[in-house]
Structure 1
Amino acid sequence: MPDPRPFAPELLADVVALTAAMCDIESVSGNETQLADTIEATLAAHAPHLEVMRDGDAIVARTQLGREQRVIIAGHIDTVPVNGNLPTTRVTDPDDGDILVGRGTVDMKGGCAVALALACRLPEPAVDVTFVWYDHEEVEASLNGLGRLARTRPELLAADFAVLGEPSNGAVEGGCNGTLRADITTRGRRAHSARAWMGVNAIHAAAPILERLAGYEPQTVTVDGLDYREGLNAVGISGGVAGNVIPDACTVTVNYRFAPSRSVADAEAHVRALVDGLDVEVTVTDSASGARPGLDAPLAERFMAAVGGAPAPKYGWTDVARFSELGIPAVNYGPGNPSLAHADDERVPIAQIRDVERGLTAWLSASI
């Protein structure tokens, strides 16, 4: 197999064209190797000032300038499956102006392209910088490339502050909510449906769970000056054996999105309290802590001063939580509307890509 070709210098000079080129290398989760190879080759060809390491399909490149502080700029290179939305196209929208359309334009190759361009263009930033492009973010957490690095090579992620290029409409979104999924199960007794009085219907027994969820009023919790909206909802229900059998089990799956001031243990206790007094079994199937905004850190304050605007909370869970677990304050800052992530009409305003490029350039070039 021939060696991968690096992105050309003219692409590195035009971050929008680079975004399109990165999107056009299809990299659905599990198929990131070609794009990882191209990023690695690009760094080798155009960024001799960086120390480059590879772990699977995760690429880490860092300056070693002896600065007093180090920051991380990170993004995942995988996408959800393509659905007739590659190669990318450029169109003009009456509301958003010139836009780039295609899989990955929002989630999140615009942020990855900005990072790659800056990695090659800025040999002497004001702080030491570690750039990370990682794999398997869009699948189960156990495969996440950033999580793998945190477990096996945490020294590569040592830093004072981190910026994750997740889509945030080109504004800063601090921290993120945590998430917990739980199965709430009722038990009954099977019987022939023609003799229903001989059984106990577990699906009917789930009605009080749904009533409590329907009446639940989620909280808005202020954390470090940002208002995080919570949510607790049924996201699935299963039960039944056959069309003529009274079911002996029914499971309601709930998802709790909780403010970063709560721990996972707090979140589990909150879910259990919701069904207190009901004859149910509660099993937590998945959970992840949130991340506080960390905007009071000196580097974060200088970052905000450089990029401008007012910070907002991130409601969805992102990998900033992984940095938070390592004790690194982190924010989301990338082009694209997060509500369009994974959509078949995924698209990003070209101006947002350039705005993020300018913001990060100003920050990394400033005297910090």
Structure 2
Amino acid sequence: MNQEQQIMQWIDDHNDEIISFLQQLIQIPSVNPWFFDEPGPSKEKDVQEFIADKLTKLGADIELWEPVADDLKQYEGMAGYYPGRDFQGRPNLAATFGAGEEGKSLLLFGHIDVVKAGSKWTVDPFGAEIIDGKLYGRGTVDMKGGVAAMIMAVEAILRSGAKLKGPVIVGTVVDEETGGMGALDFIHHGYRADGCILTEPTSLTIAPLCRGILWGKIKVQGRSGHIEMPQADWQDGGAVDAIKKARLILEQFDHLNADWAVRKTHPYLSIPCQVHVAQFNAGEYPTSFANEAEIVFNAQYLPSERDDKLMGGHVKRELEDFIYNIAKSDPWLSQNLPEIEWLVDADCAETDVEHPFVQTCVQSLHSIGLEGKIEGLGFHTDMGWPVNVGIPTVNFGPGDPSLAHHSDEFTPVNEVIDAVKMIAKTIIDWCGTEAVEVQN
């Protein structure tokens, strides 16, 4: 049995141990404190210390530190920077194996914060139950399944009697669920590698790109008046229905989306970029025309559309011009211009599919009997900052991303095991390994 076979055999022989580790991660409710109704202690530190203890026992050099927002002011206006954000008790973690080795290096990267459990669970959201081959719990998909897989892949190699020829860094960060400042701080801290696997859920496909996401709010002004009474012309002080004016914008969104469906596509994305209305808020009383209407929307953009700050500024201006041109066509709106408030700009990134690292990951999947499909992600991940500093990065992990944040979130157990094998195979082929005495 050669070394690679020994590593894969170790994984097969330790399935229960791998899944048990994931269950322990799930059972620590590391909910990002942004989701708390009132400020309270975060369990993110508990998860990081649990991971640090495991990796220390495997011989890693550990660094555990709390990000400081004031130290990141140079990134103002860029992805992940939020002034004044508090990271007390919310550390990032980096564990390095094989420091100083001459082979190619690899960063295994993931976040440990989760969204709150929410309602309508039929199982304990932090109980980590296995039912019919599925592991249930908040974070099984997003993304503790991936975090467990990358850590256990490193353990499989070391416990099988292999030594790394190139460094492997295990990086686990906080705060992805509310903006990605943990990832920004990790890169600012100086960690670099020749390749990166971000273990977000991809249903075991290779995803070398993710889209950027813009959240915006459009405020449309009206003028209230009795809805059951005749109204004078608006120029004479009559009522103006903000809902009716907002409909002008909503109708034009349909035309914009038809245009974007042709222009804003990517060969590895199954759907084009669109503007989707997520919320509509208007009116005060059933007897009054709406004084104001708010349209909250979600718009996506491609890595090719990034601005000089590597974010969505070009698309913001496109949408601002679009709204302005609609307003110019309406006498009321031209004098009472809608206002756009930008709520979120979550960045995007892309690695060339022909890059040797991407192809190594594809071949790793082939070697364990899977298709090795390449497919982009329609949502934001933390891959932006690694790519920004020149690290070729792919998203790859167990779990269906459409189940992230759902009640009864689950990941098939077999996908976790397959993810461990793929990551281990990538370490073998990318970093290189050689035989040494088996660790106990």
TM range (shorter): 0.7 to 0.9
Identity of aligned residues (%): 22
Instruction: Tell me the residue number matched to 1:205.
Output: 245
> Which has the larger share of strand?
1
Answer yes or no: is 1:315 the counterpart of 2:378: yes
Unaligned runs of 5+ in 2: 1-12, 33-41, 67-90, 232-237, 307-311, 328-332, 367-371, 432-440
Instruction: Tell me the residue number matched to 2:50.
Output: 38
Match of 1:305 among 351, 357, 363: 363
Answer yes or no: is 1:15 the counterpart of 2:26: no
Match of 1:53 among 63, 71, 86: 63
Distance 1:12 1:91 in 2: 16
Match of 2:417 among 354, 357, 363: 354
Write the deviation string for residues 199-225 of structure 1: whole angstroms up to 9, x where unpaired.
Answer: 2222221111111223432426555x5
Match of 2:224 among 177, 187, 190: 190
Match of 2:320 among 252, 263, 272: 272
Judge conservation of contact 1:86–1:103 (CA < 8 Å) in 2: yes
Distance 2:14 2:125 in 1: 21
Match of 2:27 among 9, 24, 29: 24
For 1:59, the aligned partner's letter is L
Match of 1:324 among 371, 387, 409: 387
- 1:1-368 paired onto structure 2 within 5 Å: 14-29=17-32, 30-44=42-56, 46-48=57-59, 50-56=60-66, 57-63=91-97, 64-82=99-117, 83=121, 84-92=124-132, 98-123=133-158, 124-138=163-177, 140-141=178-179, 144-151=181-188, 153=189, 155-156=190-191, 158-193=192-227, 195=229, 197=231, 198-215=238-255, 216-217=257-258, 218-219=260-261, 221=264, 223=266, 226-227=268-269, 229-263=272-306, 264-275=312-323, 276-278=325-327, 279=333, 280-308=338-366, 309-366=372-429
Distance 1:362 1:296 in 2: 19
Secondary structure of 1:191's aligned partner: coil
Write the deviation string for residues 174-210 of structure 1: whole angstroms up to 9, x where unpaired.
Answer: 2101111222222222334455622222222111111
Judge conservation of contact 1:233–1:254 (CA < 8 Å) in 2: yes
Shift of 1:358: 0.7
For 2:326, the aligned partner's letter is G
Judge conservation of contact 2:28–2:126 (CA < 8 Å) in 1: no
Judge conservation of contact 2:101–2:164 (CA < 8 Å) in 1: no
> Which has the larger share of helix?
2
Distance 2:125 2:106 in 1: 34
Distance 1:330 1:111 in 2: 15
RMSD of equivalent CA atoms: 2.4
Unaligned runs of 5+ in 1: 1-9, 93-97
Shift of 1:244: 4.1
Cα 1:289–1:135 change in 2 (3 A) is closer
Of 35-44 and 80-89, more deviation after overlay is shown by 80-89
For 2:425, the aligned partner's letter is A
* TM-score relative to the length of structure 1: 0.86
Cα 1:35–1:186 change in 2 (3 A) is same
Secondary structure of 1:295's aligned partner: coil
Cα 1:222–1:128 change in 2 (3 A) is farther
* TM-score relative to the length of structure 2: 0.72
Shift of 1:90: 1.5
Instruction: Tell me the residue number matched to 1:5.
Output: none
Cα 1:196–1:304 change in 2 (3 A) is farther
Aligned positions, number: 346
Distance 1:293 1:243 in 2: 53
For 2:21, the aligned partner's letter is L
Secondary structure of 1:81's aligned partner: coil
Distance 1:347 1:168 in 2: 13
